[in-house]
Chains A and B, each alone.
Chain A
Amino acid sequence: MAGTGLSGAASLAGVGTTPFSRDSGISTTALACRAVLTALDDAGLGIGDVDGIATHRVGDSSPPWVVGPALGITDPAWHLDQFGGGGVSHAVIGQAALAVAAGIADVVVCYRAINARSEFRMGGQGRAPAGAFDLQYQAPYGLLAPVQHYAVPARAHMQAYGTTHEHLGAIAVRQRANAAANPRALKRDPITLDDYLASPWVSEPFRLLDCCLETDGACALVVTSAERARDLRRPPVDIAAAAWAGGHSTYSPPAPGGLGDDLTTSSAARLAPRLYAMAGLGPDDVDLAELYDCFTWTVVVQLEDYGFCRKGEGGPFAASEALGIGGELPVNTHGGFLSEGYVHGINHVAEAVGQLRGDAGPRQVDGAEVALSTGQPGYVLAGTSALLLTAGR
């Protein structure tokens, strides 16, 4: 099946990660530089080859106009300092691919660098809440932290479809088991469903073990043309599709029947058809999925909205053996944000690249040819993005 649009124009040629920790002890600028240099070395490229640099951030990290000059990249032909969180994590790479496809840049480094435990915690932790735009209608009620924002649609989904705590727990347990085979993961000790059910409430229906790990760390990816990627050091991973979708209004959608009517369906339901159409692929072609897991429940809703099961069946499907390594659809093979660490989206792409190269060691998915990697599905700082990646030949 032939792709359309951006399909096949650009590839991921290099991956770099720093160690993940709760206290990196270094600046986000330093984290970004280390990840970028590691990714370039992986690709067999040098700073002199780089003519594009991109990131996303929410006021918590070092921008391209600091990281670039810090590495001697003083005049990039293309750059992007994207505002936003996990919803735009995959958009950054998609936009880099657009720049490459348009001939504006040849080699783009995309990074995300955060000290999300030691410096800037997403939940605020006493920091004055941002009042911008629609958050002014939530912050005065103590609705301040991401765990609270996602708890509301999760609760609605449980009420509408009978999704259970045990379904959510199965996700946490499996991803921890996956992380045991991942030396980069912050949490590698196995947990049981009883451990999950005994973990303390944070914001119902979420317990501590429903939440991703506040993490210090950085990842970087090198985006270049599919043609050039084939001359570089490592096997290329091709961007078969990149897609974007608008987010979820939690207030009044423009018309009755809009997505804002129903919290139990995410923006991924609108993105997925575009993504699959661009790649000329469908859900049945996907060999593994790295699904944005800021909280367990976002895996459930994305299993439904990316077409892997019917609406309302995401809970039982998530709890089934199908999602394990060796199952029909391995999900979050590195342990995800719940157990590997949370680099705000980009470490999902790093893992997908490793799997498609056959580099994943004991957690390698046999015959991995097509991987889905997704951003936050559009509930907060609304908007979503995702990539379909294929092993290059």
Chain B
Amino acid sequence: MNRTQSLRQDVRDQDGRRRDGRGAAAPRPRPGADRDSAYWWEAVGEGRFLVQYCADCRTPRFPAREVCAVCLSLEWEWREGTGTGTVDGWTVTRRTFHPAFEAPYTVLRVALDDGPALYCWGRLVGADPGDLRRGQPVEAVFTDTGPAPGAGAPTGGGAFTKVVDWRPRE
């Protein structure tokens, strides 16, 4: 398994309950990949952080799109991303909005190191949000999402088995 698994913020058993016994958390919502993004999410499910590049002008883009907004090329390629970036913004949520996400928790907007204007989101793990600063280096970790919400719920063709979170980088 991935070297970062031990840093997962909310470890759950197969019934979606927290292993620390703090009550029954609901399964994480899985909003469903679309036909542009399914490949990216499936790679995340394998613990890989991919970045899409235009095959013609080489501009990286996120999230996945069929068309390059710079040169309008329809050709693209996937490359292994750095999996690193810097903190651009964040919020510490102090009220529970969904039973799968028990407050408090911190969500970051991360500027990826792979390009000059690429942003990704994820939760802060393994650090105190009180120490966050804009520009702080972070790296991706992969968090299991636990069981699917239920039969018939959209899962994006197997996507969302893992999601990307972030921890401070030394």
8 Å CB contact of B121 from A138, A253, A255: A138
Are A152 and B31 in touch, CB under 8 angstroms? no
Q: Does A200 reach chain B (CB closer than 8 Å)? A: yes
- For chain A, the bracket of interface size reads 35 or more
The segment out of B13-21, B77-85, B101-109 that lies at the interface is B101-109
Please give the distance in Å from A15's CB to the nearest CB on chain B.
Answer: 34
Minimal beta-carbon separation of A48 from chain B (angstroms)? 46
Does B122 sit at the interface, judged by CB under 8 A?
yes
Contact in complex: B98, A156 (CB < 8 Å): no
Whether A140 is near chain B, meaning CB under 8 Å from some CB there, is yes
- Contact partners of B115 in chain A: CB under 8 A: 252
User: For A256, what are the chain B residues with a Cβ–Cβ distance below 8 Å?
Assistant: 116-117
- Chain A residues with CB under 8 Å of B117's CB are 252-253, 255-258, 260-261
Q: A121 CB to closest chain B CB, in angstroms?
A: 10
**Residue A104 CB within 8 A of the other chain:** no
A residues near B107, Cβ cutoff 8 Å: 138, 141-143, 148, 152
| Interface pick from A201-209, A214-222, A285-293, A328-336 | A201-209
Interface contact B97-A125, CB-CB below 8 Å: yes
Query: A201 with B120: in contact, given A129-B31, A137-B63, A141-B163 (CB under 8 Å)?
Result: no
Q: Which residue of B lies closest to A135 (CB)?
A: B31
- In the complex, the answer to whether A124 meets B88 with C-beta atoms within 8 Å is no
What is the minimal beta-carbon distance from A142 to any residue of chain B, in angstroms? 3
| A131:B154 contact, CB within 8 angstroms | yes
B133 partner residues in chain A, CB cutoff 8 A: 159
Q: Which residues on the A side are within 8 Å of B90 (C-beta)?
A: 152, 155
B89 and A142 contact, CB distance less than 8 A: no
With a cutoff of 8 Å between Cβ atoms, the chain A residues found around residue B109 in the complex are: 152, 156, 250, 263
Q: Please determine whether A136 and B31 come into contact, CB atoms closer than 8 angstroms.
A: yes
Q: Check: A66 CB closer than 8 A to any chain B CB.
A: no
8 A Cβ contacts from A232-258 to B = 250-258
B62 touches A148 (CB 8 A): no
Q: Is the CB of A143 within 8 A of B98?
A: no
Q: Is the CB of B98 within 8 A of A252?
A: no
User: Known contacts A130-B31, A253-B117: does B134 contact A200 (CB below 8 Å)?
Assistant: no
- List the count of A-B residue pairs having beta carbons below 8 Å apart: 138
- A135 CB to nearest chain B CB (Å): 6
- Asked if B94 contacts A136 (CB within 8 A), the reply is no
What distance in Å separates the Cβ of A90 from its nearest Cβ neighbour in chain B?
Answer: 26
Q: Which residues of B contact A140 (CB under 8 A)?
A: 28-31, 145, 160, 163
* Chain A nearest CB, measured from B119 CB (Å): 5
Asked whether A142 lies within 8 Å of B93 as measured between CB atoms, the reply is yes
Most B-side CB within 10 Å, residue of A125, A142, A250 = A142
Given A126-B98, A155-B90, A256-B117: A131 and B32 interface contact (C-beta under 8 Å): yes
Nearest A residue (CB) for B52: A252
Contacts of B62 in A (CB 8 A): 251-252
Complex contact A137–B134 (CB within 8 A)? no
Give chain B residues whose Cβ lies under 8 Å from the Cβ of A253. Answer: 117
- Scoring A residues 369 to 387 as 1 if CB is less than 8 Å from chain B, else 0, what string do you get? 0000000000000000000
Closest beta carbon of chain A to B26's beta carbon, Å: 8
Cβ A203 vs Cβ B95 within 8 A: yes
- Complex Cα–Cα for A73 and B70 (A): 46
Docked complex: B7-44 residues within 8 A CB-CB of A: 28-34, 37
- A251–B120 alpha-carbon span in the complex (Å): 6
For residue A195, CB closer than 8 A to chain B, the reply is no
Would you call A139 an interface residue if the criterion is a C-beta within 8 Å of the partner chain's C-beta atoms? yes
Give the shortest distance, in Å, between A182 (CB) and chain B (any CB): 28
In the complex, per-residue mask of A143-164: 1 if CB is within 8 Å of any chain B CB, else 0: 1110010011101100110000
Q: Give complex CA distance A134, B156 in Å.
A: 14
- Give chain A's interface residues, CB within 8 Å of chain B: 123-126, 128-145, 148, 151-153, 155-156, 159-160, 200-206, 250-258, 260-261, 263
- The 10 tightest CB contacts between A and B, nearest first, are A131-B31, A142-B101, A151-B91, A254-B69, A201-B94, A156-B89, A152-B89, A256-B116, A204-B92, A203-B93
